[in-house]
Amino acid sequence: MLLDELKNEIEKKNAIFGSRETIKYLKNNKVKLIVVASNCPENIRNEIEEHSKMAGIKLERYQGTATQLGTFCGKPFPISTVSVKK
């Protein structure tokens, strides 16, 4: 279900790719869902988890690597995080 929802949001161009952009939008409370790759660096994952808990935003862990998440998103590069705009 999560992957279907994420795919739909990507197709609607309602997704934000990358940890820096995710953190920026997260701090401004402009996301409703965050997906983090299994091999996302720990310091980045911890920062995202902390901000998402404070904001009450759903955070999901993608079982695959950043490379696999990038492929799933249709990008030719690794993506550690994907978030969906409100």
CA 60 remoteness from chain centre: 8
Domain span at 47? 2-85
Q: Let me know: does 22 contact 48? Beta carbons within 8 Å.
A: yes
Q: What is the pLDDT of residue 6?
A: 87
Q: What is the pLDDT of residue 5?
A: 86
Q: What is the CATH number of the domain that holds 16?
A: 3.30.1330.30
Domain count, the chain: 1
Q: What is the pLDDT along the chain (86 residues), one digit of tens a residue?
A: 578 888 999 999 999 999 999 999 998 989 999 999 999 999 999 999 999 999 899 999 999 999 999 999 999 999 999 999 98
